[in-house]
A and B are shown apart, each in its own frame.
Chain A
Amino acid sequence: MKVSVFCLLFFATTLFAQDDAEKSFILGTRGSYFINDNYYDNALNFVQMKYRDEVLLETSILKRNFEFRVFDPVSTNEDFFVDPVNVSAELLFDKTSFQAGFIRYRFSETFGLQILDVANPRDYSDYVLNDLSWAKRSVFGINMKNTFDRLETLWMLTLWDNGDRLPYKGTPYDLTEGKFGYEGGVVERPWFKDYEYGARFKYLFENGLDMSVLGYHHFARPTVLSLSGNPFTGFNIKQRDRMVNSLGMAASYVLGDWVLRGDVLYTMKDNFQTGPITFEEKNHYQQLMGLDRLWETWSLGAQIQNDFAYHRNFIGMKLESSYFEFWKPSTMFFVGDSHGDQWLQLKNAFEYESWNVNVTADFLSGERKAKGLFGLYRTDDRIMFEVMKTY
Chain B
Amino acid sequence: MSSIVLFVILTLPLTLLAAITPEEILKKVDDVRNPSESYLMSVRIKSSTESEDSTFVVSLKGNTKTFVKVSGPKKLVGRNMLMIDENMWVYVPNLKRSVRVSLSQKLIGEAANGDISRMRWSGDYNAKIEKEDKRTYTMFLDQKKKGLTYAKIRVTVAKYSFQPLKAEFLTMTGKVVKTADYLKYTVLAGKKRPSVIHIVDKLKASNTSDIIIEKMTVRKLPDSMFSEKNLE
Residue numbers of A with Cβ under 8 A of B are 22, 56, 59-61, 63, 92-97, 106, 109-111, 131-133, 145-147, 152, 154, 204, 206, 208, 210, 252, 254, 257, 259, 292, 294, 296, 299, 301, 320, 322, 325, 328, 330, 349, 351
Minimum distance in angstroms from B64 CB to a CB of chain A: 10
Knowing A106-B232, A204-B87, A208-B86, the reply to whether A93 touches B94 (Cβ < 8 A) is no
Minimum distance in angstroms from B106 CB to a CB of chain A: 6
Query: Which of these, B77, B95, B222, contacts A92 with CB under 8 Å?
Result: B222
Most-contacted residue by chain A among B87, B95, B96 (CB, 10 A): B95
Kindly state the separation between the CA atoms of A322 and B93 in the bound complex, as whole angstroms: 11
Most-contacted residue by chain B among A109, A131, A132, A145 (CB, 10 A): A109
Residue of chain B at shortest CB distance from A98: B224
Interface string of B191-232 (1 = CB under 8 A from A): 000000000000000000000000000011111111101101
Top-9 shortest CB links A-B = A97-B224, A133-B96, A94-B222, A259-B100, A92-B224, A147-B223, A92-B222, A254-B100, A92-B225
Residue of chain B at shortest CB distance from A326: B75
Whether B96 and A131, one on each chain, are in contact in the complex, defined by CB atoms closer than 8 angstroms, is yes
The answer to whether B97 has its CB under 8 Å from any CB of chain A is yes
Whether B224 and A351, one on each chain, are in contact in the complex, defined by CB atoms closer than 8 angstroms, is no
Kindly state the separation between the CA atoms of A294 and B95 in the bound complex, as whole angstroms: 11
Whether B227 and A147, one on each chain, are in contact in the complex, defined by CB atoms closer than 8 angstroms, is yes
Whether A320 and B85, one on each chain, are in contact in the complex, defined by CB atoms closer than 8 angstroms, is no
The answer to whether B92 has its CB under 8 Å from any CB of chain A is yes
Whether A111 and B97, one on each chain, are in contact in the complex, defined by CB atoms closer than 8 angstroms, is yes
Interface footprint category on B: 20 to 34
Whether A322 and B99, one on each chain, are in contact in the complex, defined by CB atoms closer than 8 angstroms, is no
Whether B94 and A328, one on each chain, are in contact in the complex, defined by CB atoms closer than 8 angstroms, is yes
Kindly state the separation between the CA atoms of A288 and B147 in the bound complex, as whole angstroms: 27
Whether A208 and B97, one on each chain, are in contact in the complex, defined by CB atoms closer than 8 angstroms, is no
Residues on B with beta carbons closer than 8 Å to the beta carbon of A111:
95, 97
Whether A109 and B98, one on each chain, are in contact in the complex, defined by CB atoms closer than 8 angstroms, is yes
Residues on B with beta carbons closer than 8 Å to the beta carbon of A292:
99-100
Residues on A with beta carbons closer than 8 Å to the beta carbon of B220:
59
Whether B224 and A94, one on each chain, are in contact in the complex, defined by CB atoms closer than 8 angstroms, is yes
Kindly state the separation between the CA atoms of A96 and B223 in the bound complex, as whole angstroms: 8
Q: List 24 A-B contacts (CB under 8 A).
A: A61-B221, A63-B230, A92-B222, A92-B224, A93-B222, A94-B222, A94-B224, A96-B224, A97-B222, A97-B224, A109-B98, A110-B97, A133-B96, A147-B224, A147-B227, A204-B85, A208-B85, A254-B147, A257-B102, A292-B100, A294-B99, A294-B105, A299-B92, A330-B94
Whether A94 and B75, one on each chain, are in contact in the complex, defined by CB atoms closer than 8 angstroms, is no
Knowing A56-B219, A210-B87, A254-B87, the reply to whether A95 touches B224 (Cβ < 8 A) is yes
Residues on B with beta carbons closer than 8 Å to the beta carbon of A61:
221-222, 225
Whether B229 and A208, one on each chain, are in contact in the complex, defined by CB atoms closer than 8 angstroms, is no
Residue of chain B at shortest CB distance from A99: B229
Query: Which of these, B85, B86, B99, B221, contacts A299 with CB under 8 Å?
Result: B99
Residues on A with beta carbons closer than 8 Å to the beta carbon of B105:
294
Residue numbers of B with Cβ under 8 A of A are 75, 77, 84-87, 90, 92, 94-102, 105-106, 147, 219-227, 229-230, 232
Query: Which of these, B86, B98, B100, B222, contacts A95 with CB under 8 Å?
Result: B222
Kindly state the separation between the CA atoms of A92 and B229 in the bound complex, as whole angstroms: 12
Residues on A with beta carbons closer than 8 Å to the beta carbon of B77:
22
Residue of chain A at shortest CB distance from B221: A61
Kindly state the separation between the CA atoms of A104 and B26 in the bound complex, as whole angstroms: 44
Kindly state the separation between the CA atoms of A210 and B223 in the bound complex, as whole angstroms: 18
Whether B99 and A259, one on each chain, are in contact in the complex, defined by CB atoms closer than 8 angstroms, is yes
Kindly state the separation between the CA atoms of A56 and B225 in the bound complex, as whole angstroms: 12
Knowing A94-B223, A257-B102, the reply to whether A320 touches B86 (Cβ < 8 A) is no
Whether B223 and A95, one on each chain, are in contact in the complex, defined by CB atoms closer than 8 angstroms, is yes
Residues on A with beta carbons closer than 8 Å to the beta carbon of B147:
208, 254
Query: Which of these, B94, B101, B106, B232, contacts A320 with CB under 8 Å?
Result: B94
Residue of chain B at shortest CB distance from A209: B87
Knowing A56-B219, A208-B86, A257-B102, the reply to whether A145 touches B97 (Cβ < 8 A) is no
Kindly state the separation between the CA atoms of A111 and B223 in the bound complex, as whole angstroms: 29
Minimum distance in angstroms from A371 CB to a CB of chain B: 29
Minimum distance in angstroms from B70 CB to a CB of chain A: 11
Residues on A with beta carbons closer than 8 Å to the beta carbon of B101:
294
Residue of chain B at shortest CB distance from A94: B222
Whether A106 and B97, one on each chain, are in contact in the complex, defined by CB atoms closer than 8 angstroms, is yes
Minimum distance in angstroms from A287 CB to a CB of chain B: 18
Residues on B with beta carbons closer than 8 Å to the beta carbon of A154:
229
Knowing A152-B227, A299-B95, the reply to whether A60 touches B232 (Cβ < 8 A) is no
Residues on B with beta carbons closer than 8 Å to the beta carbon of A257:
102
Kindly state the separation between the CA atoms of A146 and B90 in the bound complex, as whole angstroms: 22
Kindly state the separation between the CA atoms of A349 and B102 in the bound complex, as whole angstroms: 27
Whether A109 and B225, one on each chain, are in contact in the complex, defined by CB atoms closer than 8 angstroms, is no
Residue of chain B at shortest CB distance from A24: B77
- 10 other A-B residue contacts (CB within 8 Å) besides A60-B222, A61-B221, A111-B97: A56-B219, A61-B225, A95-B224, A106-B97, A106-B232, A145-B227, A208-B87, A294-B105, A299-B95, A328-B94
